[in-house]
Structure 1
């Protein structure tokens, strides 16, 4: 059974939900094209929003686009459409990352729509968490969410958490000494000049400075003074999760991005707050060391900080008309 064509307002709403996904430095490296004749939405990566220094292989760009793709699938299911998805459909166009056909009604057994209320509730929180332990049942649901999308979520033990924190601090030190890395960070935070509205990480989202650097929260101020920004004590024993895949190519990165977003939406529904940290992933020799050698996880794609605490501010997004083309 073929569904009715999508109205322009519906397409716009679907893409608006898709763009609520997280991306490194809130660069929003995506573009969408609606093909009315195919009743399909195509997702493209935007190379102009790539991070030349920290993401030369565009791994993080693919993760962000994968997260947006998952939001699109959730939004489509909520709107009553089955999101039949093909990754990397055209080998001749590596920037065409996915096509989502929407010409069929959603299946009765599709559970994606249940995640829809979390899309705009999910925030990145760079504030202190309480340190309250996360119940095993909640962690099991997050692990299952990652598996559903073809990835793995590992909750490291105490010794591994300390090793991860050590590697993250190492990455921060390297970044502070690298002029290109510092300039790239300033470009996306407005610390080096005006950042266009609706993109980047504004000072209001930096969170407080840490008294003792115990939690893996990136200091977007990079040591610079931000008017009105205070300081706080963060949790001493951060609760982390590593999201990873067996292989490490563009399709795996898109898979990881979708798994990441499913985990984040499930965490939001379960009352958790989250933040993401990618510093050590930006240095190949540190990224490899993040994995637990006793684990079968081949490649770590993201480090997630989980817990209970205040929500972060809502991050601005570019207008839908800036990222959506109707064809």
Structure 2
């Protein structure tokens, strides 16, 4: 019991900036953004960021503007079609990935560290009787004023529900999703990569799906580790290695087929990009290693997707071998 209580207290004090009410002044400032200004990301961010005195206020302003102006795209959700985030300022609608990418772009425009987190959510369509087949939601973690904070820009805008057989979006500012209290947030959001739980004793997938309260979830956690050290290693890596690290961590945390597929994709992506626009034999040799790894993973899928990318990986191997032979001949 003492261990559980200590873990619970550590979890509670992590986030002391959870909002409990709308900042009317900031919200009104965001709403007053001129229409023309809001059609261009640079001018939009420039306007909004001037309304805040701190990084925290700037992110809050970004969230208020998104909640007021971007609607959830129920048609894309139902059809499974992807929407380009670059077009969201024109279409004024998107799905969770678009919301997360937009907030990230806004934050990074003013040098605020912001990460997109893919994971599992107890939102629309969730059922304890229906296991997750893949991560189903995306949100953000921002680092403002030295603290890592949770933000779900999608859920902060409102909610969806069935009306006469059709999925409808209802706009409603939900302040609790901006700098969300970890206890509240973890009840409904579980990062695919456990490092983004931002805690030293990550809650397990089983605990998340079996319980509805954080107190009960904390009874079953992964072994203790230093999440700050884990994040430091992750952030020091380049984008290719970050994707590989996250994919492996996500699969180890929840070894389902969709997560294994992402491992294969991450390996292939690293191989392909390492072999592009280079005259360095070492780069081609490195790419060969990653192509071999991708083939090993895709072979485990036993499906048409895996077969397709095994074929592409073999083509990549052939290309790299050919380039190495040419470069070796040129050196003679």
Using the size of structure 2 for normalisation, the TM-score is 0.28
TM-score by length of 1: 0.29
Higher Rg? 2
